[in-house]
């Protein structure tokens, strides 16, 4: 069964726009779990423009589903993850000034670094996933790092889906097959939505997890968060 992990960054963005604690990020995460979400994802960036490092500490003792912390493994991030010990850490190579994650790892050029950081997290009992483009070589080299999973960067799929769904999914099916042949677990995320999620899952039913934030929060403005989560879960069933 493919798990739905809700990325709550956008809730923190809304809170930070006014100061104070409305909406309450921790309460929102717990409500997502209560409505059926099987994981909570956060992505603390160095400028803390949405999720703050303090939020991660506040969430840790209360999350009862899988807690996934994603981000660029700079020293401060590494220290945070090793202290929190979430179920999963997702390594994302985003620069400090990007609006959102926009590329996967080059696992050839960064092989030595990734091997070291994967080993460091796994020694703490943390499952590791590497954010990656749907390129077979990059997935094969990701396997060489010792990572447990890869997360397919799905922005390109989402961009092409409406006009050419079969063309959009094709490289992802190849990538997912390579990951399975390499013995890797498989996650996916970025711009997945109610429009395109079900088809993606139908074509790659062995997905372990999808991590979705922006679309879920946007849909919740119209549907409410409980109904939104139920609809996303329906796409995965």
User: What pLDDT was estimated at residue 222?
Assistant: 98
User: Catalytic pick from 38, 50, 70, 209?
Assistant: 70
Q: CA torsion 223→227→229→232, rounded to 10°?
A: -80
Contact of 42 with 56, CB cutoff 8 Å: yes
Q: Please, what is the Cα angle at 24 between 21 and 29, to 5 degrees?
A: 155
229 closest CA partner among 26, 33, 24: 33
Q: Which of 38, 50, 135, 190 is catalytic?
A: 190
Is 70 tagged catalytic? yes
CATH number of the CATH domain containing 99: 3.20.20.70
What pLDDT sits at residue 103? 80
For position 94, what pLDDT does the model report?
Answer: 78
Report the run of H or E that residue 229 belongs to, with start and end. Answer: helix 225-235
Rounded Cα–Cα distance for residues 135 and 106 (Å): 10
How far is it, in rounded angstroms, from Cα 225 to Cα 217? 7
| 42: Cβ contacts below 8 Å, ≥ 6 apart | 7, 8, 9, 51, 55, 56, 59, 67, 68, 69, 70
Residues in CB range of 166: below 8 A, 6 or more apart: none
Q: Tell me, what's the pLDDT at 219?
A: 98
pLDDT < 50 stretches in the chain: 99
pTM of the full predicted structure? 0.94
- Known catalytic residue: 230? no
180/221 Cα distance (integer angstroms): 37
Domain extent, residue 22, equals 3-235
| From 43, 135, 201, 209, the catalytic residue | 43
Residue 166 and residue 189: Cα distance in Å, rounded? 18
Domain count, the chain: 1
Please give the pLDDT value at position 97: 58
43 part of the active site:
yes
Beta-carbon contacts of residue 236 (< 8 Å; ≥ 6 apart):
1, 2, 4, 197, 198, 201, 210
């Amino acid at each position: 069964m493919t798990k739905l992990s809700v990325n709550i960054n956008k809730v923190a963005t809304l809170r930070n726009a006014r100061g104070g604690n409305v909406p309450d990020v921790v309460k929102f995460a717990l409500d997502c779990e209560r409505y059926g979400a099987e994981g909570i994802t956060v992505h603390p960036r160095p400028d803390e423009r949405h999720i703050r490092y303090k939020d991660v500490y506040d969430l840790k003792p209360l999350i009862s589903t899988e807690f996934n912390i994603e981000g660029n493994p700079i020293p401060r991030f590494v220290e945070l993850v090793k202290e929190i010990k979430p179920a999963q850490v997702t390594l994302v190579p985003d620069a400090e000034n990007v609006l959102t994650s926009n590329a996967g790892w080059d696992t050839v050029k960064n092989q030595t670094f990734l091997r070291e950081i994967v080993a460091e997290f796994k020694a703490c009992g943390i499952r590791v996933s590497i954010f990656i483009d749907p390129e077979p070589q990059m997935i094969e080299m990701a396997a060489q790092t010792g990572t447990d999973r890869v997360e397919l960067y799905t922005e390109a799929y989402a961009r092409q889906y409406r006009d050419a769904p079969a063309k959009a999914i094709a490289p992802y099916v190849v990538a997912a097959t390579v990951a399975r042949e390499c013995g890797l677990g498989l996650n996916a995320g970025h711009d997945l939505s109610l429009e395109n999620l079900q088809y993606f899952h139908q074509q790659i039913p062995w997905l372990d997890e999808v991590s979705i934030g922006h679309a879920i929060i946007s849909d919740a403005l119209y549907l409410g968060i409980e109904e939104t989560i139920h609809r996303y879960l329906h796409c995965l069933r």
